[in-house]
Chain A
Amino acid sequence: MGLILSSFTVFARGVYQTDQDFLTEVFNNSVPKSKVVWMKADLASTVAELLGHKYAGLRIRYWRNEQRSAWILEEIGKEKPITFGIVVAEGKIENIKVLAFRESRGGEIRHPAFTQQFKLVQLDDMQLDRNIDGVSGATLSVRAMTVVARLALYLDKFTG
């Protein structure tokens, strides 16, 4: 089974890291029990404001220990959902990664040269406190990453 799963990961287009591998890496093998935050009325409207559209799910799952929280969030770039893994510590982005990319354009956003711009970024009045330079031809993927970074920062505070 493990072999089938791992070969699936290799050949599935644009799956760069599985959710489980991401969490194991973030929490150094002792992944805390997951929690959920429900999209109740007030929160749902704030989340919609952050995303620029309504959140499609009923709740968002997250993992938290004393030091940091980890979020696995999906957002559509142009046509397909991109899966992001985000780590928040002390209200700042510690790390953001593309776990799976399914769009036909804009895959450059997964490169560290791009993602490192998000390091230590925090929320300032619902916006990121720093300008994020885009990738030519990847405007919508860049937009998706910016949006999930904002959402993770907000939810970290909301649930913290």
Chain B
Amino acid sequence: MAILKKTVVAMSVMVAVSSVQAATPSNEEMWVLLQQVQQQLTDVQQQNNQLLVENQSLKTKVEQTEKTVLEANETVEALAETTEQAVKAVSTSANNTTIGGYGELHYNNLEDEDGDKTKKVDFHRFVLFFAHEFNDRLRLFSELELEHSIAGESQNGEIELEQAYIEYDISSQYRVKGGLFLTPVGIINETHEPATFYGTERNNVEKHIIPATWWEAGAMFSGEIAQGFSYDVAISSGLDVSKEGTKSTYKIRDGRQKVSQALADDLAYTGRLKWTGLPGIELAATVQYQEDITQSQDPTAGSATLFETHAVIQRGDFGLRALYAIWDLDGEGPKADGYDEQTGWYVEPSYRINEYFGVFTRYSEWDNQAGNAVDSEYDQFDLGVNWWPHEDVVVKLDYQNQDKPANGESDGFNVGLGYQF
């Protein structure tokens, strides 16, 4: 038993010694351990250095990318700027010469009280505008027109130069033009693109009294007195109702010489005042004086004075056009047959249903021999619709009823197709 105890004690001591030996390594072991730790530290440091290098390189790359992005931005900016300027330059230089035009095809189906029918289709007007800007202040404007499709010997139509003038801006308020230009009178004489007015045919008052389309050669000065208040004064060639020396009817429309080897013995003096001070409203009046309405071909013709005034109102969907014109021919010749007074007026209310459709009605009266008691007055009632599939394209349909002094009544309908660009 005593031996067993000793053995147990001895074993316990050995265990204790060996456990004490494990907790405190020897110097050699410590050295190995230290070396291991040292190695690990070196590794970490190396990794750290590597990371530092990588970080630095990333930073450089980011900076480079930022720089590239910035440069790319600047390049895009420069490219956009250059492209836009190039586009602008090209379009501006191309815009120095511009073309435009308008055209209208008409179908008339009319019947007089004797039952005589007139059915016609006619490409009434095919017009080309050519304009050129020499510089910011000096420009050319021209209008060349083919009427009734075919021109030439024994054909119905004609080719006409209706405008060809040089215009110069003296300042933003004053300008002067010289050449062949439309007389500043009436509503449709200067603005007659089909999409701008109601009715297939132009109104008869402006046609027979003014007489539209009316152009002369000369010079015109235009100015602005106040906001929306302008004037035009012109000296130009005039009418010749004598038909090259032969006494004619003195009818104003027949006196248009169209600046075609036109007699220029006597000039015409025109003045117009126009007020457009409120949106949608135009009020204007024109006076013209001609020294001799036959260019001194007929000693009995005398001088002539035109007075015309009109209003164009378009407020919201409601429109109204009204015009009055009167010629006073001074001589004994015109007086003999009542041509000393040639006058007419019309009133045309309209309603724009929407962007595409508008309806109108017009009542007009005109008389080229109003100076005597003989009945020579025409009157006409129109009712119709305009359809604009595009703001520059128009289809027209209208009914007309005309009272003539000689042939009595006639009525019928007209269809038109027109465009402008």
B279: which of A57, A59, A79, A135 is its contact (CB, 8 Å)?
A135
> Are A133's CB and B276's CB within 8 A?
no
Tell me whether A113 and B277 are in contact in the complex, defined as CB-CB below 8 angstroms, given that A14-B172, A102-B136 are known contacts.
yes
Stretch at the interface among B309-317, B340-348, B410-418: B309-317
Decide if A108 is an interface residue (CB 8 Å cutoff).
yes
> Are A113's CB and B279's CB within 8 A?
yes
Query: Which residues does chain A contribute within 8 Å of B281, judged by CB atoms?
Result: 136
Could you say which interface size class chain A belongs to? 20 to 34
Instruction: Tell me, in angstroms, the Cα distance from A112 to B88 when the chains sit together.
Output: 29
B95: which of A80, A108, A135 is its contact (CB, 8 Å)?
A80
Interface residues as binary, B312-340 with A (CB distance below 8 Å gives 1, 0 otherwise): 10111100000000000000000000000
Query: Which residues does chain B contribute within 8 Å of A48, judged by CB atoms?
Result: none
Decide if A32 is an interface residue (CB 8 Å cutoff).
no
Query: Which residues does chain A contribute within 8 Å of B172, judged by CB atoms?
Result: 13-14, 107
- How far, in Å, is A52 (CB) from chain B's closest CB? 9
Instruction: Tell me, in angstroms, the Cα distance from A79 to B133 when the chains sit together.
Output: 10
User: Dominant SS at the A interface?
Assistant: loop
Decide if B191 is an interface residue (CB 8 Å cutoff).
yes
Which A57-78 residues have C-beta < 8 A from chain B? 57-59, 78
Stretch at the interface among B24-32, B79-87, B108-116, B365-373: B79-87
Interface residues as binary, B64-93 with A (CB distance below 8 Å gives 1, 0 otherwise): 000000000000000010011001100100
Instruction: Tell me, in angstroms, the Cα distance from A117 to B314 when the chains sit together.
Output: 14
> Are A13's CB and B228's CB within 8 A?
no
Instruction: Tell me, in angstroms, the Cα distance from A130 to B88 when the chains sit together.
Output: 32
B91: which of A56, A59, A114, A131 is its contact (CB, 8 Å)?
A56
- How far, in Å, is B195 (CB) from chain A's closest CB? 9
Instruction: Tell me, in angstroms, the Cα distance from A62 to B280 when the chains sit together.
Output: 32
- How far, in Å, is A152 (CB) from chain B's closest CB? 19
Query: Which residues does chain A contribute within 8 Å of B280, judged by CB atoms?
Result: 133-136
Instruction: Tell me, in angstroms, the Cα distance from A104 to B191 when the chains sit together.
Output: 14
Q: What is the interface of chain B, defined by CB distance below 8 A to chain A?
A: 80, 83-84, 87-88, 91, 95, 98, 100, 131, 133, 136-137, 139, 141, 167, 169, 171-172, 190-191, 196, 227-228, 276-282, 312, 314-317, 391
17 A-B pairs with C-beta separation under 8 A:
A13-B137, A13-B172, A56-B87, A58-B84, A59-B80, A79-B131, A79-B133, A108-B228, A111-B277, A112-B227, A113-B227, A134-B314, A135-B276, A135-B279, A136-B314, A137-B191, A137-B276
